[in-house]
Structure 1
Amino acid sequence: MKRATTRVATRRLPDRHIGWIGVGKMGARMCRRALAAGYRLTVLEPVVENRAIVVARGAGFVSTAAELCDRARVIVLTIPDDSVLREVVLGPDGLCAHVAPGDIVVDMSTVSPHLSAEAADVLARTGAAFVRAPVSGSTQLASDGQLTILLSGPPEAVRAVEPLLATLSTRRLYLGAGEEARYMKFVLNILAGSTAAVLSEALMFGRKGGLSTRAMLDVIADSIVASPLIEGKRDMLLARDFDPAFSIQQMITDFDLVADTARAIRAPMMIAGLIRQQFELARAAGDGERDYFALLEQFERMAGLAPEAPDEADDTLPETG
């Protein structure tokens, strides 16, 4: 098994019938990809409207973990947080009470490493394997099957589910046998949130000096600090259309997970703490459900700047006579 920046080797799933728990914004899109690739899906999702989306595409549904484990040997989780993971896996009627030896549970959620390790330990005692597979990417990338999946867990289990994960992603990076994928996901989220905060402050500073947002983004894109993330948010920043791919509320939740984990491992995270407070100010101003790059307008408010109108500035050179 090669590590880090190489793809995971492909092996065949023992069964193309997949159980799926959690069919929200990301989960529904991934389910549709799996169905289109020929997998049979049975979903466990309490929200009728959510499960109806994939049932209409041919998925079956059940009401309990016991029923799901009776039907599928591989079960994928796309769930919102630690509390749901604890209930779904460790609860009295959770997966740990119903999985069989050889089953594989694949958790694609963003959850804490300590709870993930607890779930892995309990499942291992039943003979089931726990694959950590948090994703990097937006809902649009999920629809297009272009996510990046960070992987850790038992190598043989990771190999077994790789064909399924290949239908959902363009890159699958194996990082180790334990909680490495969880930490890597947090590393990416720290950098994404930090980029939004630092870029927002820099753009505010430039506007105070008379620069337009368009001019600054043009120069940034052609400089040493260019990044795919900034370029991907360019149109949003210029149009001031902060319809969320990932919201400020979601970023706060992830930074809180980072803070809790940092305390547990005694990692000083002073800069992340300051950035989290900037997101808190934006949430308090009513921006919690906007995209996390709406933080730009929070910095502008603090500086006494009105939001720049879309395409307000004309950055062309004046004609000479």
Structure 2
Amino acid sequence: MEIGFLGLGIMGLRMAANVARAGHQVTVYNRTTATAQAWVAEHGGTVAQTPAQAAAAADVVISMVVDGAQVEQVLLGPDGAADGARPGALFVDMSTISPDDTRRIGAGLAERGVAFVDAPVTGSSPKAQDGTLTIMAGGAEEDVRRAWPLFEAMGSLVLHVGGLGQGEMVKLINNATAAANTLAVAQALVVGRATGVDLGALVQVMSAGSGGSAMLDLKAPVMQEHDYTTLFKLEHMLKDVRLCLEQARAAGVGFDAAAAAGGALEHGLERGLGEADFAALLEAVEAASGVRL
């Protein structure tokens, strides 16, 4: 297939590479043209100067950007992908944005005769690199099936989770839960340090038992070293938690654990750690307790 790929950030450049490796012809667009040129030099394909140009020959256009405003800009804005879309094109947004934004953008695309699927991903940059992301797709069955070969190039678990916007909702709940689990890990480590526990033994016991979690395995080692090398930016996790809480409030329910994690992430943002990995929420726990690992 001919693919237009919009957004070559930490995740996007790796995901686009897997699409190209699967044998698809890829035209890439990135706000920083030098990034797109470097990607093409390594993987082949074509650099587009605008999203509309990237969409001109594409069967499927994939967007992977930061937020709803950016998705709307690259798809529906001036020189957006919708301006260049060929008849029968399918747009797939793999960003993490509000389900409300997804449905509104989908309505705008439908007016132009463009089909739309939301398919956010979970799994940080190493999984994007090796094509083992989890992908949760929302949209009409026939549209999701059209994109399925591309999803299989980027992910090892692909699920059609419902109508348009439901992929985003599943992703937001997942990320908010991940943030809450990460806060619990940080608090457990600080309690362990304060009470004189061997942290290595604590983590080993928790990993083997009911206290285990993916976030324990991924974040406990780097927290102990205060190594916040970015796998997923703190500011992006905070965005996702806020979006999840907005949807929860609109549905009339609470998510207290996610709200607490949001507070810790906000503390990290205030300390200038927005570009760091979200494991840096440890700094909020340490500051509140007066205990440093």
Q: Give yes or no for TM over 0.5.
A: yes
Contact 1:89 1:96 in 2 (8 A): yes
Aligned Cα root-mean-square deviation (Å): 1.8
Contact 2:28 2:36 in 1 (8 A): yes
What is the aligned-residue identity percentage? 32
Pick from 31, 40, 43 the counterpart of residue 46 of structure 1.
Answer: 31
1:229 to partner: Cα distance = 2.8
Report the number of matched residues.
292
Please report the TM-score for the alignment, with normalisation by the length of structure 1.
Answer: 0.85
Q: Does residue 136 of structure 1 match 2:132?
A: no
Contact 1:30 1:142 in 2 (8 A): yes
Pick from 76, 99, 109 the counterpart of residue 95 of structure 2.
Answer: 109
How do residues 58-207 of structure 1 correspond to structure 2 at under 5 angstroms? 58-207=44-193
User: Using the alignment, how far apart are the partners of 1:289 and 1:45 within structure 2?
Assistant: 19
Aligned to 2:280: 294
Aligned to 1:31: 16
Q: Comparing 252-261 with 51-60, which one deviates more in the overlay?
A: 252-261
1:287 to partner: Cα distance = 2.9
Contact 1:203 1:296 in 2 (8 A): no
Aligned to 1:246: 232
1:169-197 alpha-carbon deviations (Å, 9 max, x no partner):
10101111221111100111111000011
Please report the TM-score for the alignment, with normalisation by the length of structure 2.
Answer: 0.93
1:192-231 alpha-carbon deviations (Å, 9 max, x no partner):
0000111211221122111132121011012112123311
Counterpart residue type for residue 272 of structure 1: A
- Unmatched runs of 5 consecutive residues or more in structure 1: 1-15, 308-321
- Secondary structure, in 3 states, of the residue corresponding to 2:23? coil
1:92 to partner: Cα distance = 4.0
Contact 2:133 2:155 in 1 (8 A): yes
Rg comparison, structure with higher value: 1
User: Using the alignment, how far apart are the partners of 1:283 and 1:137 within structure 2?
Assistant: 22
User: Using the alignment, how far apart are the partners of 1:129 and 1:157 within structure 2?
Assistant: 7
Q: Which structure dedicates a bigger proportion of its chain to helix? A: 2
- Secondary structure, in 3 states, of the residue corresponding to 1:167? helix
- Unmatched runs of 5 consecutive residues or more in structure 2: none
1:70 to partner: Cα distance = 2.1
